[in-house]
A = this chain, B = another copy of it.
Amino acid sequence: MSLEQELRAEFGEAVLEGTPGEYLTDFSRLPGSADAVVLPSTAEGATAVLAWCYERDVPVTPRGGGTGVAGGASPAGGVVLALDRLDRVRSFEPELWRIHVEAGVTTGRLQELVRGSGLMFAPDPGAPEQSQIGGNVATNAGGPHAFKYGVVGDWVTGLEAAIPPGELVSVGGAIRKDVAGYDLKRLLVGSEGTLGIITAVWLKLLPAPEVVLPVAIFHSGRREGCAALVNVISSGIVPAALEVLDAETLACGSGSFPGGMPEDARFLLLAEADGSRDEAERVAAELVEVAGAGAVAIQAPRDREGITALWRWRSGLAFAAIARRGGVVAEDIVVPVERVEEAMEETIAIGLRHDLVALAFGHAGDGNLHSSFLVDPQNVDELVRAEAAVEDLFELAVRLGGSVSGEHGLGLLKRGQLARQWGPRALELHGEIKRLFDPKNLLNPGKKLAGPLAPGEQPPLATRS
């Protein structure tokens, strides 16, 4: 009997026929392989699958919406355990600002549901229509509004997960404070499915702001734009989002910019004010005053259509960049905010050194940049050069006092990079925590590995797009 048949004998229709291709990769397009794909419908079912596999030494790759870009959901044999069918809202108490959802609920559905009650799930990780809340918690996803509202993990008050060898563990719940035990919850948040399989989460919500006012401030160049960025922060303004986009990024999106891209625009500082109408207007006006000095153009749409169009354009930029040459090799480095200018400049210089078109944009208020190299995904030589370029990028991030990953995680593609950033004892603890939760190394094996790569070993080539 094949593994698939054995699993079907035990778990019936939870086991798919064959291994459909969409379960074998993620947005990294890394080609994975699996012997079976299982879609349990309950947390207990997911736990039983984990226990079954653990007993038989079968690797298990947990999978959310598959929108990761670091290859974290790319399986290497064994079982893909997809959370798609764990999609129940277990409870929703809008009057108490909280919701209890299973891991497979898409982030978009969650956001729509809570918006209908005048609330918001404050973080806004990308690809909401496809990404699932379990995956967003497992990667501790970020997004533009992390500047004011923090990352996904900051909103998790409780978490349920299947832990090897196959037990369903629950910590926290519908409570806003808890210091009774070591923070197992935060250890599972961002662990990329290597310590446990998140099956459900309790989330804090917030009353939605009355209005949300974006302010797009175009500058003539990087230096001017980054000076405006630092000015905003040092002026004590607290925007909800504080994004930057460099000249090459703007070039990718110039055709689709609502109303046409202003002439001479070589840098965009995209900020957002939110709150009550008066409060948002006050902050928006301050943003224009402080960041608009010397700007080549300022656009501050006030109607719902204009606002939606602007953010839709922003969301589409990653795809516009891909469209340029067919692929991008992009990372999500973090630097202290005053080093954003230097990191953006160096990104371009690294591209030049490796004969690649480079661009940088991202969540600048948090110092979190999407530094990207445009590539033709069929051109292996380009991919090899792009890999060399991202190595330089990681070196840069760490040299500037930052991190190799702000929101995508290590996955498969960044394995070994943590060794640049942490000392030997921290790396050792990292490995020991993995062994403690998953002594057989069967849970998403090969992912979020901290240690340096063996000589000659290197991660697979991928476009991360």
Contact = CB atoms under 8 A, between A and B. Distances in A.
B169 A426 contact: yes
B236 A207 contact: yes
A448 B278 CA distance: 47
Interface in A167-210: 167, 169-184, 186-187, 189-191, 195, 206-207
Contact of A179 (B177, B190, B230, B436): B190
Given A186-B183, A206-B238, A401 B175 contact: yes
A68 to B, nearest CB: 12
Interface stretch (A54-62, A301-309, A329-337, A346-354): A329-337
Contact of A366 (B176, B368, B407): B176
A406 B279 contact: no
A335 B175 contact: yes
Interface in A202-260: 206-207, 230, 233-234, 236-238
B407 A182 contact: no
Contacts of A163: 425, 429
A276 interface: yes
Interface string A413-430: 010011001111110011
A403 B175 contact: yes
Given A177-B334, A278-B278, A425-B169, A430 B367 contact: no
B421 A177 contact: no
Contacts of A96: 230, 233-234, 336-338
Contacts of A430: 181-182, 184
B191 A182 contact: yes
A432 interface: yes
Interface residues of A, number: 90
A429 B184 contact: yes
A176 B405 contact: no
With most chain B CB atoms within 10 A of its CB, the pick from A146, A171, A368, A450 is: A171
Given A154-B150, A183-B190, A177 B367 contact: yes
Contacts of A179: 139-140, 151, 190, 403, 405-409
A153 B338 CA distance: 24
Nearest to A210: B236
Contacts of A404: 180
Contact of A170 (B93, B140, B423): B423
A262 interface: no
A198 to B, nearest CB: 14
With most chain B CB atoms within 10 A of its CB, the pick from A195, A279, A403 is: A403
Nearest to A236: B207
Contacts of A180: 403-405, 409-410, 414, 417-418, 421-422
A444 to B, nearest CB: 13
A92 interface: no
A334 to B, nearest CB: 5
Nearest to A435: B436
B207 A405 contact: no
Contacts of A424: 167
A437 interface: yes
Contacts of A170: 423, 426
B337 A176 contact: yes
Interface of A: 93, 95-97, 118-119, 139-140, 142, 146-147, 150-151, 153-154, 163, 167, 169-184, 186-187, 189-191, 195, 206-207, 230, 233-234, 236-238, 275-276, 278-279, 282, 334-338, 363, 365-368, 401-410, 414, 417-418, 421-426, 429-430, 432-434, 436-437, 448, 450
24 contacts: A96-B336, A139-B179, A142-B177, A146-B176, A147-B176, A151-B179, A167-B425, A169-B429, A170-B426, A171-B422, A172-B403, A174-B401, A177-B363, A177-B366, A179-B407, A179-B409, A181-B410, A182-B430, A186-B186, A207-B237, A207-B238, A276-B282, A278-B278, A278-B279
The 3 A-B pairs at the shortest CB distance, nearest first, are namely: A186-B186, A95-B234, A207-B236
